[in-house]
């Protein structure tokens, strides 16, 4: 199964449009979480949109090699920020130490991987997989803590809850295809992986939109 370049560009633009729509909604409802640690996530979401717009631009212009460096930089910022964001909200001291450990291991793996893959022209595969697994574990720890506290009663009105649902769905769904695409190219179809990622991106951003709209300003713990 193959997608021609024009269809690929169209699908990428649809993905970016969904991201843009979500971040605009997040900006409109910024007043709900502007006094919490979540306020910086809006910058991350805007950065994501700009980064993906650059990705579409380079693909359209035939400069695909430039995509590697912009996404490598993006992944470091994205994963590091998210891990420290959850570390801020999680109360369990053992879990906090584990998340700090995850962050350090990820950053070390990124540096070491640079000796094997060129940051400028190659996507950093192994560090991405490590960080995604660590993030899934971290979000799971967050949910476990919520379920074992009174916070579970108002979880659906909390923005971080919906953001976590979105990220968990995306990474749990995308990781198997990412691993297969990176290491077992003959066993998977890159087009199917792209379509799966696009679908997961749309679902993830719908979760973000629900969170921005439905969350209660008083429940941003």
Q: How confident is the model at residue 171 (pLDDT cuts 50, 70, 90)?
A: very high
Ranked by mean pLDDT, the top range of 19-28, 113-122, 212-221 is 19-28
Mean pLDDT of the region 171-184: 79
* pTM of structure: 0.88
Query: Each residue of 73-109: pLDDT tens digit?
Result: 999 999 999 999 999 999 999 999 999 999 999 999 9
Looking at the chain, the whole-number percentage of residues with pLDDT higher than 90 is 55
More confident residue, 24 or 71: 24
- Residue 149 Ramachandran class (φ > 0 left, ψ -120 to 50 alpha, else beta): beta
Residues 170, 19, 143: CA angle, nearest 5 degrees = 35
In this prediction, residue 124 carries a pLDDT of: 83
How far CA 133 is from CA of 76, 96, 158, 200, in Å, comes to 14, 16, 24, 16
In this prediction, residue 7 carries a pLDDT of: 72
In this prediction, residue 55 carries a pLDDT of: 72
How far CA 50 is from CA of 20, 68, 72, in Å, comes to 9, 15, 14
Residue 197 pLDDT greater than 80, yes or no:
yes
Furthest C-alpha separation in the chain? 53
How many C-beta atoms surround the C-beta of residue 128 within 10 A?
23
Query: Each residue of 112-161: pLDDT tens digit?
Result: 988 887 777 778 888 999 999 999 999 999 999 998 888 777 788 899 99
Q: Where are the domains of the chain?
A: 5-219
């Amino acid at each position: 199964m193959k997608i021609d370049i024009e269809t690929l560009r169209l699908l990428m633009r649809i993905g970016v449009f969904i991201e843009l729509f979500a971040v605009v909604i997040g900006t409109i409802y910024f007043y709900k979480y502007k006094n919490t640690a979540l306020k910086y996530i809006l910058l991350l979401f805007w950065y994501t949109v700009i980064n993906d717009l650059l990705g579409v631009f380079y693909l359209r212009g035939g400069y695909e090699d430039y995509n590697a460096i912009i996404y490598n930089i993006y992944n470091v910022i994205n994963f590091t920020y998210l891990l420290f964001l959850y570390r801020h909200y999680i109360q369990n001291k053992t879990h906090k130490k584990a998340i700090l450990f995850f962050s350090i291991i990820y950053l070390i793996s990124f540096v070491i991987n640079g000796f094997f893959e060129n940051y400028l022209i190659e996507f950093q595969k192994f560090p991405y997989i490590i960080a995604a697994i660590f993030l899934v574990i971290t979000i799971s720890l967050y949910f476990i803590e919520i379920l074992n506290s009174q916070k579970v009663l108002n979880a659906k009105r909390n923005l971080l809850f919906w953001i976590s649902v979105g990220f968990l769905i995306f990474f749990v769904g995308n990781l198997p295809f990412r691993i297969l695409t990176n290491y077992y190219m003959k066993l998977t179809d890159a087009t199917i992986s792209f379509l799966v990622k696009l679908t997961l991106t749309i679902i993830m951003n719908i979760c973000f939109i629900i969170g921005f709209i439905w969350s209660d300003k008083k429940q941003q713990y």
